[in-house]
């Protein structure tokens, strides 16, 4: 098995980096300097024509899109480590459901909210009504996630899975960037605390310099 992971710690590649840490599978890391435009080099574009990270090459085969990579890694390496449900099981259905839900339904309004409130965006492209609608949708999603964790123990079932690792890392980032108040979601807060104590999370933070 050979894995080459193209990444930059300050990007959506961090979620795949966390998955690789959770799995503990050996891999080579290649830093992609986004400022310098490494991602648009012809050699890199052969791996990912979008010129984006995360990109991964597994046994000579390139893959891109973080969700696709997460699912592949989970199915190939996660089941034997108890971090991914058996393919075809009811838990597997839940894993795919919540992984995609977080990427699509949860992240979309977080991005909309950030774009419409960020001081870095020009005032003329910010829209207060869009921000208000996105915030309501985010809170609806946080309420749904809080209830799910309360019922299941973690997202898929009572054991920690790669879905918990992935969704908590995305949410941690979103909550930080959008400065959202989560005080109404006790299950979610306890789960985020568990996420922060995972050895994989601590290892990743150490690699990022704290
Ligand atoms: N939908 C893609 C998004 C990938 C993406 O937008 N990556 C950004 C970093 S967060 C990137 O490589 N940007 C460099 C560029 O667009 O030149 C995924 O989830 O993998």
State residue 10's pLDDT score. Answer: 83
Q: How many CB atoms lie within 10 A of CB 18?
A: 23
Residue identifier of the C-alpha nearest atom 12 of ligand 1: 52
Per-residue burial over 170-206, b = 16 or more CB atoms within 10 Å of its CB, e = otherwise: bbeebbeebebeeeebebbeebbeebeebebbeebee
Instruction: Output the CA 99–ligand 1 centroid distance in Å.
Output: 18
Pocket test for ligand 1, best of 8, 18, 53 (most atoms within 8 A of CB): 53
**Among the atoms of ligand 1, which is closest to the Cα of residue 69?**
20
The radius of gyration of the chain from alpha carbons, rounded to an integer in Å, stands at 18
From the list 148, 145, 142, 146, the residue with the least C-alpha distance to 187 is: 146
State residue 38's pLDDT score. Answer: 97
**Among the atoms of ligand 1, which is closest to the Cα of residue 103?**
19
**Among the atoms of ligand 1, which is closest to the Cα of residue 12?**
10
Ramachandran region, residue 82 (left: φ > 0; alpha: ψ -120 to 50; beta: rest): left
Q: Which two tokens stand for residue 70?
A: 């997460």
- CA 98/CA 28 separation, integer angstroms: 29
Mean pLDDT by 10 residues, the chain (210 residues): 93 94 97 97 98 98 97 96 97 98 95 91 92 97 98 98 96 88 96 97 85
**Among the atoms of ligand 1, which is closest to the Cα of residue 53?**
12
- Cβ atoms of 18 and 200 within 8 Å: the answer is yes
State residue 40's pLDDT score. Answer: 98
All domains of the chain in start order, with CATH: 3-82 (3.40.30.10), 90-198 (1.20.1050.10)
Q: How far apart are the first and last CA of the chain?
A: 31
Instruction: Output the CA 13–ligand 1 centroid distance in Å.
Output: 8
Instruction: Output the CA 158–ligand 1 centroid distance in Å.
Output: 32
From the list 55, 70, 79, 47, the residue with the least C-alpha distance to 5 is: 55
Pocket test for ligand 1, best of 12, 17, 169 (most atoms within 8 A of CB): 12
**Residue count of the chain:** 210
Q: What is the pLDDT of residues 18-66, one digit of tens each?
A: 999 999 999 999 999 999 999 999 999 999 999 999 999 999 999 999 9
Instruction: Output the CA 162–ligand 1 centroid distance in Å.
Output: 21
Cα-Cα-Cα-Cα dihedral sign, residues 17, 95, 108, 140: negative
From the list 126, 129, 107, 106, the residue with the least C-alpha distance to 117 is: 126
Instruction: Output the CA 37–ligand 1 centroid distance in Å.
Output: 12
State residue 209's pLDDT score. Answer: 73
- Cβ atoms of 16 and 7 within 8 Å: the answer is yes
State residue 84's pLDDT score. Answer: 98
- CA 16/CA 164 separation, integer angstroms: 13
């Amino acid at each position: 098995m050979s894995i080459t992971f193209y990444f930059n710690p300050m990007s959506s590649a961090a979620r795949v980096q966390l998955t690789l840490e959770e799995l503990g599978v050996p891999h080579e890391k290649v830093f992609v300097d986004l400022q310098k435009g490494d991602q648009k080099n012809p050699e890199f574009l052969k791996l990912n024509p979008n010129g984006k990270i995360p990109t991964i090459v597994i046994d000579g085969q390139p893959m891109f899109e973080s969700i696709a990579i997460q699912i592949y890694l989970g199915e190939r390496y996660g089941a034997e480590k108890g971090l991914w449900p058996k393919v075809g099981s009811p838990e597997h259905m839940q894993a795919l459901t919540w992984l995609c839900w977080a990427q699509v339904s949860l992240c979309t309004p977080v991005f909309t909210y950030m774009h419409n409130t960020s001081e870095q965006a020009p005032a003329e492209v910010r829209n207060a009504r869009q921000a208000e609608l996105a915030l309501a949708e985010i809170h609806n999603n946080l309420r749904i996630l809080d209830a799910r964790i309360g019922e299941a123990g973690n997202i898929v079932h009572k054991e920690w899975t790669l879905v918990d690792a992935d969704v908590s890392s995305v949410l941690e980032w979103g909550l930080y960037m959008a400065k959202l108040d989560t005080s109404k979601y006790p299950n979610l807060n306890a789960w985020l605390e568990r996420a922060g104590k995972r050895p994989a999370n601590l290892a990743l933070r150490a690699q990022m310099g704290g």
